[in-house]
Structure 1
Amino acid sequence: MLKGFRDFILRGNVIDLAVAVVIGAAFTAIVTAVVQGFINPLISALFNASDLSKALIVKIPTVSGGHSSLAFGTIIGAIINFLAVAAVVYFVMVMPMNHVKDRLQARKDAETPEGEPPAPTDVELLAEIRDLLREQNRPPQL
């Protein structure tokens, strides 16, 4: 039981996910500071509101005679926050890691001798396993 748990935790995807959550939380603080220090003052100047949650509010009448509010500014603020976090994650983490992967792959390709055939891909290996299993499970011919 513990071996299975250890294997699960040490899998690359789980560790990558944990790192992503921690980095995402750290970027949230940066994005919040950018929104409060840069975007909210711009919104204040454009829409005469102190922040996005108070901008672009549309009041609609309700059946009971009162009114309800649609806060489009809050939605726009959430979209801006998401795009800012996504941009930071992409340009600070994903793009450099892809560059490093490409360089490592190029180095690996350069070290592979010319006469040696390339290693089969995962898809090719899985297709080969599938074909072997299909042959093993085929009923005998009479």
Structure 2
Amino acid sequence: MFKGFKEFIAQGNVIDLAVAVVIGAAFTAIVNAVVASVITPLVNLFLAADATGGFGLAVTNIHGDEVLFPLGDLVSAVISFFAVALVVYFVFVLPMNTYKERRAARTPAPVEVVAPTEAELLVEIRDLLRSERATG
């Protein structure tokens, strides 16, 4: 059990994961700031904002009061998710896939050894037995 854990640590996967988490958290903070200071005000131009500055769709309920469906947080979260996913893909995933493809292209393909089928083995055994009978 500890041997497998030791190999896992030695491979560097834990360090890579830790770096990815830290970079992801830092980048998420940047994306959230951009969404809060640029995207949210742009969306507020088109949708009604409530007293707290949140925006959404205002609907009148059966009592005549206006109810605001606060879609601002949802829109911000969706934009943040796609921005983070886009950057992670182009900064981390795409270069790593390209690197792996180039590395695979440089290494020769392993020679595939095809094991004989059962029928071929039986024919070979039969031929060996015939040749032993003929000589002995």
TM-score between the two structures when normalised by the length of structure 2: 0.60
Bigger Rg, structure 1 or 2: 2
One-letter identity of the residue aligned with 1:19: V
Partner-residue secondary structure (3-state), 1:56: strand
Greater helix percent: which structure?
A: 1
Partner-residue secondary structure (3-state), 1:79: helix
> Is the Cα contact below 8 Å between 1:61 and 1:68 reproduced in 2?
yes
Q: 1:3 to 1:41 in 2, by over 3 A?
A: same
Partner of 1:117: 111
> Is the Cα contact below 8 Å between 1:49 and 1:55 reproduced in 2?
yes
C-alpha RMSD of matched pairs (Å): 3.6
* Aligned-pair CA distance for 1:26: 1.8
2:57 pairs with 1:74: no
One-letter identity of the residue aligned with 2:14: V
TM-score between the two structures when normalised by the length of structure 1: 0.58
Partner of 1:21: 21
Q: Which runs of 5+ in 2 are unaligned?
A: 114-136
Q: How many residues align?
A: 112
Q: 1:4 to 1:99 in 2, by over 3 A?
A: closer
One-letter identity of the residue aligned with 2:97: N
Higher relative contact order (CA 8 A, sep 6+): 2
The runs of 4+ residues in structure 1 deviating greater than 2 Å are: 1-17, 44-50, 57-62, 66-70
* Aligned-pair CA distance for 1:33: 2.9
